[in-house]
């Protein structure tokens, strides 16, 4: 399946961590903002030698294939490998091969330097043997024997509906398109412009808006790759030890440093809290909230005292112990909020007031200690905004500079109808201006929060359909971090990011 995509040759807007596969079952981790700082992790628990690795868009986990035809998940931080399945047909392409997940059918593609062309269900190990790769009739390299050393798909994110498969040919030093992938037909895109090592890494960093950034590692060099022309541009030298060779490459969005040690708490539509570490989304602790009257609509950490607050359908405000789930009544609103679960809720850190923005366009400021409500102007898109005249459908709200003592802030919302990030400025006037498209189909029930540091750093996160995203507040783009937990059907309608500095 093909689609028009935006091809770029620069680093993506959000910083990424590169995960390279080196010889002898070692991973090398380095960041896009500091190529010289490299961490080496030995992979343990394997039978055989790893041939390649890739992040699976469906769940955000790293998978690898070994010489014994075993498929493993790999924790890149600890190196621990867990057996998932074994191929029911042997792959003999060796480590001079391409390995990458097709994000549309959720199948792993293997393209061997011996021209093998496999599709794999990694959960079962079932192999579909497709047509061996060969250059198309009339192609500039017609008749040449392909020597594929790396492969990567565009639009590599969960929920992708269209994609293209690119390969690197180390004998021809070329970028080639394999289309259709199952038919193995290769078309030359263009020369890389440098001598590609026979052992190399290749990956494409994709955003849901169709932006695709190609990257290649050959020797100790990191290159950006123009997917339209095949031309590679050297970005810098990776701080690899002498003799280390990269034979596989994948990436993952970097969790901003201010969020690494934070506790993420998601609210479901049935009064459950799901706590998780943003660096380990598979491990989720769930706890029921008790002592409530009604159903929780949203939650947020109050910067002034570090406590977690929630609002229910009965217009009551509670503090909630995130460890036990015990809720304690604080106050009752003196004006009813009827925005429902598809609404935004967040503390303004400057006046210490809770903002409520309803999908029905209600716009409230609340003193949570007393329940007193200030009814502000209903939200509406500004004159001359790209979405002027559209009916807002706000499903999440968050303030920047969300810490005690903050003197300035700004309010951002998510519109689930327009799948957009919007700025509400001034908040009391309800005036909305569009920042940009998220690039994803945002669920009506979603979570949104911004974690801040007093030094001025702000990192935004959203949850939609059990997937965690990081958001670029300048462009609105959403970047997939992975699936939360094991239940894709859970309905999450709120997110609070709790930090020790506010607790």
Cα(326)–Cα(421) distance, integer angstroms: 33
Across 356-365, average pLDDT? 96
pLDDT at 288 over 70: yes
pLDDT at 160 (0 to 100) = 85
Q: pLDDT, tens digit, for every residue of 3-29?
A: 444 444 455 556 788 999 998 999 999
Percent of the chain past pLDDT 90, that is, above it, reads: 80
What is the DSSP annotation of 317-357?
EEEE-TTT-BEEEEEE-SS-----SSEEEEEETTTTEEEEE
Across 256-277, average pLDDT? 93
pLDDT at 157 (0 to 100) = 83
Q: pLDDT, tens digit, for every residue of 96-153?
A: 899 999 999 999 999 998 999 999 999 999 999 999 999 999 999 999 999 999 999 9
pLDDT at 501 (0 to 100) = 57
Instruction: Tell me the two tokens of residue 140.
Output: 């500039």
Contact between 331 and 368 under an 8 Å Cβ cutoff? The reply is yes
CA dihedral 225, 230, 233, 235 (to 10 degrees): 20
- Tell me the CB-side half-sphere exposure of residue 308, using CA atoms within 13 A: 26
CA–CA distances in Å: residue 128 to residues 118, 311, 348 = 6, 51, 54
| pLDDT band at residue 429 using 50, 70 and 90 as cut-offs | very high
Lowest-confidence region among 169-173, 302-306, 481-485: 481-485
pLDDT at 178 (0 to 100) = 98
Instruction: Look at residues 47, 97, 43 and name the one whose alpha carbon lies nearest to residue 67.
Output: 47
Q: pLDDT, tens digit, for every residue of 194-229?
A: 999 999 999 999 876 778 999 999 999 999 999 999
pLDDT at 14 (0 to 100) = 61
Strand order across the beta sheet in which 372-375 lies: 343-348, 353-358, 363-367, 372-375
Contact between 384 and 391 under an 8 Å Cβ cutoff? The reply is no
| pLDDT band at residue 252 using 50, 70 and 90 as cut-offs | confident
What is the DSSP annotation of 131-148?
PPPEEPTTSTTTTPPP-E
pLDDT at 482 (0 to 100) = 80
pLDDT at 6 (0 to 100) = 47
pLDDT at 3 (0 to 100) = 40
pLDDT at 502 over 70: no
pLDDT at 450 (0 to 100) = 98
Q: Is 297 helix (H, G, I), strand (E, B) or coil?
A: strand
Class of domain 257-502: mainly beta
Beta strands in 179-302 (DSSP E): 185-191, 200-206, 211-218, 221-225, 232-237, 246-253, 263-268, 272-277, 280-288, 296-301
pLDDT at 206 (0 to 100) = 86
Lowest-confidence region among 127-136, 260-269, 303-312, 471-480: 471-480
- Cβ-based burial of 349 (10 A; exposed 0-12, middle 13-18, buried ≥19): buried
- Cβ-based burial of 36 (10 A; exposed 0-12, middle 13-18, buried ≥19): exposed
Instruction: Look at residues 474, 457, 463 and name the one whose alpha carbon lies nearest to residue 440.
Output: 463
Q: pLDDT, tens digit, for every residue of 39-56?
A: 999 999 999 999 999 999
pLDDT at 4 (0 to 100) = 40
Instruction: Look at residues 234, 446, 414 and name the one whose alpha carbon lies nearest to residue 341.
Output: 446
Q: Where are the domains of the chain?
A: 6-253, 257-502
pLDDT at 479 (0 to 100) = 83
Instruction: Tell me the two tokens of residue 15.
Output: 């910083």
Cα(87)–Cα(21) distance, integer angstroms: 21
Q: Which residue has the higher pLDDT, 281 or 312?
A: 312
- 276-280: which pairs have CB atoms within 8 A and are 24 or more residues apart? 276/484, 276/485, 278/461, 278/468, 278/481, 279/77, 279/255
Instruction: Tell me the two tokens of residue 83.
Output: 């057996």
CATH 3.60.70.12 given to domain 6-253: no
Lowest-confidence region among 7-21, 150-164, 169-183, 239-253: 7-21
Contact between 247 and 22 under an 8 Å Cβ cutoff? The reply is yes
pLDDT at 492 (0 to 100) = 95
Across 266-289, average pLDDT? 94
Cα(20)–Cα(194) distance, integer angstroms: 20
pLDDT at 406 over 60: yes
Q: Is 306 helix (H, G, I), strand (E, B) or coil?
A: coil
Instruction: Look at residues 361, 283, 343, 358 and name the one whose alpha carbon lies nearest to residue 493.
Output: 343
Across 460-484, average pLDDT? 89
List 206's β-bridge partners, or say none.
212
pLDDT at 12 (0 to 100) = 57
pLDDT at 480 (0 to 100) = 80
Lowest-confidence region among 4-18, 98-112, 278-292, 418-432: 4-18
Across 244-260, average pLDDT? 88
Q: At 231, give phi and psi (nearest 5°).
A: -70, 130
Q: At 145, give phi and psi (nearest 5°).
A: -80, 115
Domains 6-253 and 257-502 share a fold: yes
Block residue for tokens 């259709």:
180
Is it true that the peptide bond before 180 is cis, omega within 30 degrees of 0? yes
Q: How far is C-alpha 358 from the geometric centre of its chain's CA atoms?
A: 27
Report the mean per-residue pLDDT for the chain. Answer: 93
């Amino acid at each position: 399946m093909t689609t028009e995509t935006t091809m770029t040759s620069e680093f993506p807007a959000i910083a990424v961590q590169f995960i390279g596969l080196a010889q002898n079952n070692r991973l090398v981790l380095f960041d896009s903002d500091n190529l010289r700082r490299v961490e080496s992790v030995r992979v343990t628990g394997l039978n055989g030698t790893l041939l390649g690795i890739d992040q699976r868009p469906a769940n955000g986990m790293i998978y690898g294939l070994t010489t014994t035809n075993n498929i493993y998940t790999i924790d890149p931080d600890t190196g621990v490998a867990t057996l998932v399945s074994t191929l029911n047909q042997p792959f003999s392409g060796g480590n001079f091969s391409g390995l990458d997940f097709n994000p549309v059918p959720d199948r792993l593609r293997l393209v061997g330097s011996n021209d093998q062309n496999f599709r794999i269900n990694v959960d079962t190990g079932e192999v579909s043997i497709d047509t061996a790769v060969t250059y198309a009739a009339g192609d500039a390299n017609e008749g040449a024997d392909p020597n594929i050393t790396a492969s990567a798909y565009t639009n590599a994110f969960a929920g992708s509906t269209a994609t293209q498969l690119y390969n690197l040919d180390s004998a021809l030093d070329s970028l080639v398109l394999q289309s259709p992938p199952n038919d193995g037909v290769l078309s030359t895109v263009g020369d890389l412009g440098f001598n590609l090592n026979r052992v190399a890494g290749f990956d494409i960093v994709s955003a849901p808006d169709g932006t695709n950034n190609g990257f290649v590692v050959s020797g100790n060099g990191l290159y950006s790759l123009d997917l339209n022309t095949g031309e590679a541009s050297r970005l810098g030298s990776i701080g690899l030890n002498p003799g280390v060779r990269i034979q596989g490459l994948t990436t993952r969005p970097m969790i901003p440093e201010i969020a690494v040690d934070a506790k993420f708490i998601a609210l479901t539509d049935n009064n459950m809290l799901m706590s998780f570490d943003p660096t380990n989304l598979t491990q989720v602790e769930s706890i029921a909230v008790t002592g409530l009257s009604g159903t929780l609509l949203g939650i947020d950490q109050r910067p002034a005292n570090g406590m977690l607050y929630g609002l229910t359908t009965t217009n009551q405000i509670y503090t909630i112990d995130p460890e036990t789930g015990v809720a304690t009544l604080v106050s009752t609103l003196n004006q009813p909020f009827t925005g429902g679960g598809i609404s935004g809720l967040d503390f303004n850190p400057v006046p210490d007031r809770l903002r409520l923005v309803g999908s029905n366009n209600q716009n409230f400021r609340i003193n949570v200690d007393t329940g007193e409500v200030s009814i502000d102007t209903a939200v509406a898109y500004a004159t001359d905004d790209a979405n002027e005249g559209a009916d807002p459908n706000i499903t999440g709200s968050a303030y920047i500079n969300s810490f005690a003592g903050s003197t300035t802030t700004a309010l951002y919302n998510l519109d689930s109808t327009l799948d957009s990030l919007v700025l509400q400025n001034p908040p009391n006037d309800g005036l909305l201006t569009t920042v940009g498209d998220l690039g994803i189909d945002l669920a009506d029930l979603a979570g949104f929060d911004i974690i801040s540091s007093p030094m001025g750093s702000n990192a935004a996160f959203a949850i939609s359909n059990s997937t965690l995203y990081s958001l670029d507040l300048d462009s609105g783009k959403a970047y997939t971090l992975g699936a939360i937990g094991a239940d894709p059907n859970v309905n999450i309608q709120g997110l609070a990011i709790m930090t020790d500095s506010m607790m």
